[in-house]
A and B are shown apart, each in its own frame.
Chain A
Amino acid sequence: MSDILDDFKGQWDAAKKDSAKQTVSAKDLVAAAQQKIRSAVLMHVGNTAVLVVTLIGICLFFVYVAPLQETLSHIGMTLMIGGLVLRILIEFHSIYRSTKIDLSDTAFAVNKSYMSFYTYRKKIHGSVTIGILIAYTVGFYILLPEFGNYFTQAQVILLALSYLVAAAIFGYSIKIAIRKEVKLLKSLIDMQQEIADGEG
């Protein structure tokens, strides 16, 4: 090694000697890794559980509270339940894809995998989720006329209005998630350009 790096090399080797010794045992690190895997699984299960509980709640509602009979209502129920089932399946697929990123691959390959994953997430949080939300909303409003057989008019109006509030909150959370993922994607693209800069 020549030139400027010679000076740095001396300092680097000296700094290496001063470098800290292990403060945590291998056994504790393995325990932390196992805990981390458990936490990640719990987080994913938690997110999906919210959707599954909603799905079960809606199904129970249609069976015990408002057993709707009309064909139009069946279409509405299918749109709502189908949308939720699709979202749950996508969530599982997303979890599966995230576990496929191999941090022991080259930096270029890992960055590329993250880019692909977050492009997919952006699509899910964007067009796919918005599509599902629209289908769910259409499904819900199709049910309203037959809801009149089970609830008072005031209750139906309250249901319709409260849905709007819930949809607005959900829509806002989608917007935040997309913004976050776009930012992350941009940072990944910048990094990829830095890594690949000069490659033919």
Chain B
Amino acid sequence: MSNNNVLFERLYAEFYPMVHHICVGFMKGNGELAEDLAQETFINTWRSLDKFKGASSYKTWIYRITMNTCLKYIRDNKIKDQVALDQNSKVLSQDSSHQDHGDAHQELYQAIGQLNEIDRLIIMMVLDELEYKEIADVVGISESNLRVKIHRIKKSLKEMLKK
């Protein structure tokens, strides 16, 4: 087995729950779509392994791939106007038992789901207790701007809950 495959297995085992959970939140609790998206994220991770330079931790690096995969998914599906991931993911998910996370944690996903895609991903990283510096590094904005965004997201969430 190549070094890349050994590394990939380690990353997959270590970070799958983290990635999957972000995807569930991004997909507003839809477990089936989240699973496809998580698999797509790891396919992209495997394809990017050679590009990892060690400038950030693997965790931050995988968060970046997760965020970009989620945003790409939204973009592609806005254009195609359909909800489907690529065929590989579909084939892979056929045998899996899906779990809809919508019922058990409805309030959480409903609130997060009302935010726009970028804010949704940011707030999930905050809930995952990523340092602000790391989140800024994932998104590609300054830490001060991130703080402003987070403040605004909290305000939006408060207003949503009041309604």
Contacts and interface: CB of A to CB of B under 8 A. Distances in A.
Interface in A33-66: 33, 35-37, 39
A39 B116 CA distance: 32
A132 interface: no
A169 interface: no
Nearest to A12: B127
B61 to A, nearest CB: 6
Interface string B111-141: 1100011100101101111000000011111
A32 B118 contact: no
Interface string A23-39: 11011111011011101
Contacts of B142: 199-200
A29 to B, nearest CB: 5
Contact of A102 (B46, B51, B88, B111): B51
Interface string B132-163: 00000111111001001100001001100100
Nearest to A180: B79
B134 to A, nearest CB: 11
19 contacts: A4-B158, A12-B124, A12-B128, A15-B24, A19-B20, A19-B21, A23-B35, A26-B9, A102-B51, A103-B48, A104-B44, A105-B64, A107-B67, A107-B118, A111-B71, A187-B78, A195-B140, A196-B141, A197-B149
Interface of B: 5, 8-9, 12-13, 16-17, 20-21, 24-25, 31, 34-35, 39, 42-48, 51-52, 61, 64-65, 67-69, 71-72, 75, 78-79, 86, 88-89, 91-93, 95-99, 101, 104-105, 107-109, 111-112, 116-118, 121, 123-124, 126-129, 137-142, 145, 148-149, 154, 157-158, 161
